Each structure stands twice: as C-alpha cells, then as structure tokens.
C-alpha cells in the first residue's frame, strides 16, 4: 500500500465527502450543459465567459488540492486553497451586485496587469493590444482596486473564508518565520534537523476547507446560469456532515 492509499484510508470521511461533491459537480455539468452559455450583448457575454472560466479554474485547483493532500503535502495544498478562496471571493463579489459592471472592471484590471507584464519584459506586443481601449481599462482597473480582497469578502458576505482561511494560509504561502519553523526539528538544541518529508500536517484542514470553498463556487455558478441546484445541495450538505464525524 502506498502512502497515498494509506492516507485515503486515514481520511476516508474527507475522501467520501469529496467524491460526493465531485459526483454532484459532474452531474450539474452533464445535466445542464445547455444552460451554461453566453448571451448576445458583449458585456453580458464577457460576464458569462468569466463565470464559466472561474468555475473551471476552481475545479482544477480543487482537484490538485485533493492530490497534494493525500500525498501528504498539506502546507502546499493550503497555498492552492488560498488561491481558490481568492477566486471564490472575487466571484461572489462580482455576482453580488452590478455583475456586468464588476466583471468589466475585473477584466479591465486583468488586461492592464498583462500590459504591464509585457512592457516590463520587453516582449512583442500581441495583436489584441491594438484592440483594447487602454483609457477605459485604466478607469475599470481603478474601480476594481477601490476595494481590496478583505473589503470584497465583506461585501460578498464571505468574510469567514477570508478570516479563517485566506489570512492564515498567507503565512504558509509567504513562508513567514512561523510557517518556516515547522520544517525544523530540535529547534534551539544545537544540531538542527531539516524535515521536508510528507506528513499529515494540515491534511484534514485542507480537505475540509477545500470542500466548502468548491461547493460555494459551484452554487455561485449555478445561480448565475439559472441552474436549479437544490437537489445537488442536499447531497452535498449530507456529505459535509461526514467531515465532522470521526474517521474510524
């Protein structure tokens, strides 16, 4: 038995819950494919594409977090989880109010960041550069940056994920002194032993929070495309209860 298989047995409730969520995610896509589509107006089309793309990115990162967790790389899983929390907060904020306008501001900000990257690295400008109204992009980016991630989380009613996850996982992502101390054994006793081996540290935390964030993104995507997800949600809620029962 591999370490990964052993960890799946150790965290079998988290695995069962995640498998249920994956099944529901697959059924949503299979049973509602015709509803996930763009509208004709350009700005609404942009919003529809953005929501679908954000969901796609969240699913891929969700899957990567599962893989890292069962391999024993809980700290690394939290770094990816922080990325998905960021995405979830932005998605919830965009859809909370004036979604077309907010999506436009987010896209404008993204374009402007790409422009800065190309110019700083003296890369050849792609063809789409000529098609962009950069003055309009600057105004949209300025509007997007009026709120930082904490303010967007508050307005989107997702402060829990920001406070309990995003801020804590920042310590791991930015490798501050506290996070780095976890890689040393025998601290302050002379000989230092560096420990970078796989372990169970943060695995349960990563799996549980990963589940909650992905479920939230799924619900937001369904709401946007007018997909009835109540049936799926009841199954996901039942699966969530598994995360609060002992693995025995």
* Residue 190 in this model has a pLDDT that exceeds 90: no
Which of the four pLDDT bands, split at 50, 70 and 90, describes residue 188? low
Helix then strand then coil, % of the chain, to nearest 5: 75, 0, 25
> What value does the mean pLDDT take over residues 243-248?
76
Residue-averaged pLDDT of the chain: 93
Residue with more model confidence, 221 or 124: 221
User: Taking the chain, what is the end-to-end CA distance rounded to the nearest angstrom?
Assistant: 18
| DSSP reduced 3-state for 197 | coil
Domain boundaries, the chain: 3-179+202-242
Residue with more model confidence, 71 or 192: 71
* Residue 246 in this model has a pLDDT that exceeds 80: no
Rounded Cα gap, residues 59 and 63, in angstroms: 6
Which of the four pLDDT bands, split at 50, 70 and 90, describes residue 154? very high
| DSSP reduced 3-state for 149 | helix
In tens, the pLDDT along 4-39 reads 999 999 999 999 999 999 999 999 999 998 999 999
Which residues face 194 on adjacent strands?
184
Rounded Cα gap, residues 63 and 54, in angstroms: 14
* Residue 244 in this model has a pLDDT that exceeds 90: no
Task: Provide CB contacts within 8 A for 172, sequence distance 6+.
Answer: 75, 78, 79, 82, 179
Phi, psi of 246 (to 5 degrees): -70, 140
Which pTM does this prediction carry?
0.93
Q: Give residue 2's pLDDT.
A: 95
> What value does the mean pLDDT take over residues 69-79?
97
In the 8-state DSSP scheme, what is residue 228? -
């Amino acid at each position: 038995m591999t370490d990964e298989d052993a960890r799946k047995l150790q965290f079998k409730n988290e695995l069962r819950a995640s498998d249920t969520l994956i099944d529901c995610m697959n059924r949503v896509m299979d049973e509602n494919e015709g509803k996930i589509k763009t509208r004709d107006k350009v700005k609404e089309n942009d919003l529809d594409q953005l929501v679908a793309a954000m969901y796609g990115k969240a699913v891929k990162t969700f899957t990567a977090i599962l893989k890292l967790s069962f391999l024993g790389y809980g700290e690394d899983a939290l770094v990816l989880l922080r990325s998905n929390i960021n995405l979830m907060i932005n998605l919830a904020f965009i859809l909370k109010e004036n979604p077309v306008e907010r999506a436009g501001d987010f896209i404008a900000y993204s374009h402007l960041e790409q422009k800065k990257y190309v110019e700083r690295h003296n890369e050849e400008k792609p063809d789409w550069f000529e098609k962009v109204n950069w003055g309009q992009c600057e105004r949209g980016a300025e509007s997007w940056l009026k709120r930082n991630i904490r303010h967007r989380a508050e307005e989107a009613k997702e402060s829990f994920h920001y406070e309990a996850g995003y801020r804590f996982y920042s310590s791991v992502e930015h490798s501050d002194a506290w996070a780095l101390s976890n890689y040393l054994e025998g601290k302050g006793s002379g000989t230092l032993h560096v420990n970078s081996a796989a372990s169970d540290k943060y695995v349960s935390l990563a799996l549980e929070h990963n589940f909650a964030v992905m479920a939230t993104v799924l619900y937001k995507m369904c709401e946007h495309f007018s997909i009835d997800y109540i049936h799926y949600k009841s199954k996901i809620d039942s699966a969530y209860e598994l995360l609060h029962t002992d693995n025995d």
